[in-house]
């Protein structure tokens, strides 16, 4: 397994480990109270998720970097990253368009869509889905070409 594949695995797992509980917690708050979580609660949860992701990603990435110092990036790695970032960009644009269209069309039926904190969390979800697709495609392509 090459360095870039290891780093892709580390990032993929860290995003899943951090943001699945994060969005589960916010969803639980919305379901129990039928109102969006207060800005303070969402901010504290987000800062906690950022700090957790820094440690969960940073420590294994540093270990991989120290162990594989001499590995160089070749054309295959560049092609895989390019393909993954292209697909992640398409995923991000699609999610944002769905968010904007859905928020504008469904706002009368769902009053939560009028809250800025809730829309911000949906925007963050779009970015997380995009990053998951980016690292997922990288892992898939490395596994496929090995």
pLDDT tens for the chain, 146 residues: list them. 788 888 999 999 999 999 999 999 988 888 888 777 777 888 899 999 999 999 999 999 899 888 887 777 788 888 999 999 999 999 999 999 988 888 777 777 766 666 777 788 888 999 999 999 999 999 999 888 77
Q: Is 34 left (phi over 0), alpha (psi -120 to 50) or beta?
A: left
Q: Are 9 and 139 in contact (CB under 8 A)?
A: yes
Closest to 19 (Cα-Cα) out of 52, 44, 43: 52
Find the helix packing angle between 39-67 and 3-33, rounded to 10°: 170
pTM of the model: 0.84
CB contact at 8 A, 136 and 8: no
Number of domains in the chain: 1
DSSP state of 111: G
Range of the domain at 54: 3-145
């Amino acid at each position: 397994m090459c360095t870039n594949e290891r780093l892709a695995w580390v990032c993929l797992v860290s995003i899943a480990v951090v943001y699945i509980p994060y969005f589960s917690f916010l969803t639980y708050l919305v379901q129990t109270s039928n109102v969006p979580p207060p800005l303070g609660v969402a901010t504290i949860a987000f800062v906690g998720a950022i700090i957790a992701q820094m440690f969960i990603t940073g420590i294994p990435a540093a270990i991989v970097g120290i162990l594989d110092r001499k590995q160089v990036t070749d054309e295959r790695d560049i092609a895989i990253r390019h393909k993954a970032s292209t697909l992640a960009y398409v995923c991000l644009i699609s999610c944002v368009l769905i968010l904007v269209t859905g928020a504008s069309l469904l706002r009368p039926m769902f009053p939560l869509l009028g809250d800025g904190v809730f829309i911000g969390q949906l925007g963050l979800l779009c970015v997380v889905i995009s990053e998951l697709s980016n690292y997922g495609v990288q892992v898939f392509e490395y596994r496929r070409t090995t």
